[in-house]
Amino acid sequence: MLAVDRDPAFAGDSRRYPGPPAAGFAAHPLAAAVENKAVRDPQEAAPRRHEELPKLAHRWLARLNECLAARCWIATDQFSAADIMMAGVLRSIRHTGILQSHLAVRDFYDRCMARPAWEKTLNLYAQRVGASVDDVR
């Protein structure tokens, strides 16, 4: 069971994620959790969203950091779809500074981004949108 399942801010959300603890994180991105709270309580959630999200992110990332400190990849000993999903979630927060205090998560993200297929994808995306690779990295 992930921390979100015990979090009073998300009480009533009965979803559970089987498998390794970190694997569930990829299936439950931070933004989706906050949006879920906002749907259930729109009057209260919007003003609190700005202050709650970094706290929630740090709690979840701390747990993910613990998991990744003992292994290279999320679900197995080899790179898998779980790693692709998690890297996508982490990519969405890469410029926020939230990853700075989570060394194992940052190392994991760097390993994902250094993979040849990811490099190729970033290059193709940069060409498509007319940007430099550094701008989309």
DSSP per-residue codes, 2-39: -HHHH-GGGTT------SSHHHHHHHS-HHHHHHHHHH
pLDDT of residue 4: 43
pTM higher than 0.75, yes or no? no
pLDDT of residue 3: 42
User: Which CATH architecture best describes the domain 3-136?
Assistant: Up-down Bundle (1.20)
Which residues in the chain show pLDDT less than 50? Answer: 1-7, 9-28
The model's pLDDT over 35-67, given as tens digits with 9 standing for 90+, comes to: 555 555 556 666 666 677 888 889 999 999 999
In the chain, domain spans? 3-136
